[in-house]
Amino acid sequence: MTDYPQLCMIIDGERVVAGSRRTFTVRNPATGEALGELPLADAADLDRALDTAARGFRIWRDSTPQQRAAVLQGAARLMAERADDLARIATMEEGKPFAEARIEVMMNVGLFNFYAGEVFRLYGRTLVRPAGTRSTVTKEPVGPVAVFSPWNFPLGNPGRKLGAPIAAGCSVILKSAEETPASALGVLQCLYDAGLPKEVAQAVFGVPDEVSRHLLASPVIRKLSFTGSTVVGKQLMKLAAEDMKRTTMELGGHGPVLVFDDVDADRVLEVMAPAKYRNCGQVCVSPTRFIVQEDVFDEFVAGFTARAKTIRVGNGLDPDTQMGPMANPRRPDAMERLIGDAVARGGTLHTGGERIGNQGYFYAPTVLSNVPEDAAIMNEEPFGPVAILNPYRGEAEMIAEANRLPYGLAAYAWTADSRRQKIVAREIESGMVGINTNMIGGADAPFGGVRWSGHGSEDGPEGVEACLVTKAIHEG
């Protein structure tokens, strides 16, 4: 059994423990029990982290691709070796089933290995110029990056936020969510143990608004990378704009799923019902609005409801569990508000719609249908275990509904018609589209959204590119 580690920040290579600082109590969402006390940064801690990040950048921008690759590959190997311990800590902190947490570790392993290859391909170019002159275009690391990662992928989010800047030759200050600190520290430790100089990556925690204001006010920080809600993303963009810092914003979504009547509904349900309840629906690319063609609607609702009822909800450390608790007490509260409002406005509740048990933050897998467009849940990201199923006449109405909201992160469509597959892929405004699949990510594929879902990509060559600036050098 993994012991929960002592919590700390890591600033200039030093493990900073609570002492007289304020603390945050980290809790297990399955039981509500306290796991540990997390020290929160004060202004002096953040200033020290900023000075260190400036030094770390000077060290790491001069690193060779071989050094960067060795660190990333070494960390990938260590994460794979420590997968069970890392996954268990993530489950204790966030609640997701252990098997899901383990997949997060392996996603980091794949991503770090991919980036280890990318560091050899950060090319510039030489332009055609007359003899005796030269014009070159180079790519340089953007500088120290402040990264903020949320609690829903306690290992995968910090992995993404650390891997790309390190591959690009930047230094990083990571503030992961205070709810899931030990997972983030576990990822960082793999990088240190693989030889990353301690000045290059640091971990701070704090009152989120204080930390982001302090770090983003500093000219040391050249880029902000944030994953979280659109509301907070907009606030942080404004802070970054004061100093014209580069940004990568991975924000919320409201995943539309178009289900046409030319597909086998059972096959769609087999993939998309479990996908809905993965991580209790607390996934930015979660399928949320099922936009179902009317001929298959009744069959689809019945099949979805039957499947939702069979999901085994419990402690994520129990191997039989298919869905854990929600990650924090804010989420069941949000479910009560959103589902209550949907039903009050005339939506039909087929199953769920209630908390489970009297400890932890459990909420039942829920299915709603015929929810009117003015219900809050039709417009606000629910970020919970609730599927919304509504009927539509045909292609044009279904595409219009998919594009109705200002979000555009992940969209899905199920159709056997090859012409329609291409139309839908083209017409839906979304950073990622899955046609007859829910697999929309990969180490080599850009992950990101458009419009209110943010901008910039993580993963793939685009993830490293986002941490580089372009310079043109003209020699006469």
- What b/e string do you get for 405-429 counting C-beta neighbours within 10 Å, with b at 16 or more? bebbbbbbbbbeeeebbeebeebbb
CB of 338 to ligand NAD, least distance (A): 10
Contact (CB, 8 A) for 166 and 191:
yes
Residue with Cβ nearer ligand NAD (236 or 317): 236
Burial (0-12, 13-18, 19+ Cβ within 10 Å), 319: exposed
Residues 273, 367: contact at Cβ < 8 Å?
Answer: no
- Looking at the Cβ atoms of 113 and 180, the one nearer to ligand NAD is 180
- Which residue minimizes CB distance to ligand NAD? 228
Least separation in angstroms between residue 109's CB and ligand NAD is: 20
Residue partners of 254: CB distance under 8 A and separation at least 6: 288, 289, 379, 380, 381, 405, 407
Please report where in the chains the tokens 């200050």 appear, as a residue. Answer: 173
Token representation of residue 222: 């050249």
Catalytic pick from 250, 280, 381, 458?
250
Alpha-carbon distance of 467 to 453, in angstroms, equals: 19
Other CB atoms within 10 A of residue 362 CB = 23
To the query of whether residue 458 is one of the catalytic residues in this protein, the response is no
Compute the chain's Rg from CA coordinates.
Answer: 23
Contact partners, residue 312, CB within 8 Å, separation at least 6:
320, 321, 322, 323
**Could you tell me which residues are beta bridge partners of residue 433?**
411
- Min separation Cβ 453 and ligand NAD, Å: 8
CB-wise, 253 or 316, nearer to ligand NAD? 253
266 CB neighbour count, 10 Å cutoff: 11
Phi, psi of 112 (to 5 degrees): -65, -40
246-250 and 454-455 beta bridge pairing: antiparallel
CB nearer ligand NAD, residue 57 or residue 383: 383
Judged on CB neighbours under 10 Å (0-12, 13-18, 19+), 121 is: exposed
Smallest gap, in angstroms, from Cβ of residue 158 to ligand NAD?
A: 11
**Catalytic residue of the set 199, 284, 381, 467:** 284
Minimum distance from residue 45 beta carbon to ligand NAD (Å)? 16
Write the single-letter amino acid at 225.
Answer: S
Looking up tokens 């941490």 gives 467
Which of residues 36 and 449 has its CB atom nearest to ligand NAD in the complex?
A: 449
∠ Cα 223 229 234 (to 5°):
55
Q: How far is the CB of 376 from ligand NAD (least distance, A)?
A: 12
CB atoms closer than 10 angstroms to residue 260: 23
The CA distance from 170 to 214, in Å, is 19
The least distance separating ligand NAD from the CB of residue 38, rounded to whole angstroms, comes to 12
* Smallest gap from residue 298 Cβ to ligand NAD (A): 31
Minimum distance from CB of 284 to ligand NAD (Å)?
3
Residue closer to ligand NAD (CB basis): 363 or 383? 383
| Residue 250 among the catalytic residues | yes
**Edge-to-edge strands, sheet with 134-141:** 125-126, 134-141, 468-475
Residue 212 or 366: which CB sits closer to ligand NAD? 212
Residues that bind ligand NAD (CB under 6 A): 148, 150-152, 177, 208-209, 212, 227-229, 231-232, 235-236, 250-252, 284, 330, 381, 383
How many residues are present in the chain?
476
Q: Confirm if 144 and 216 have CB atoms less than 8 A apart.
A: no
What stretches of 299-406 adopt beta strand conformation (E)?
348-351, 366-369, 386-392
Q: Catalytic residue numbers?
A: 250, 284
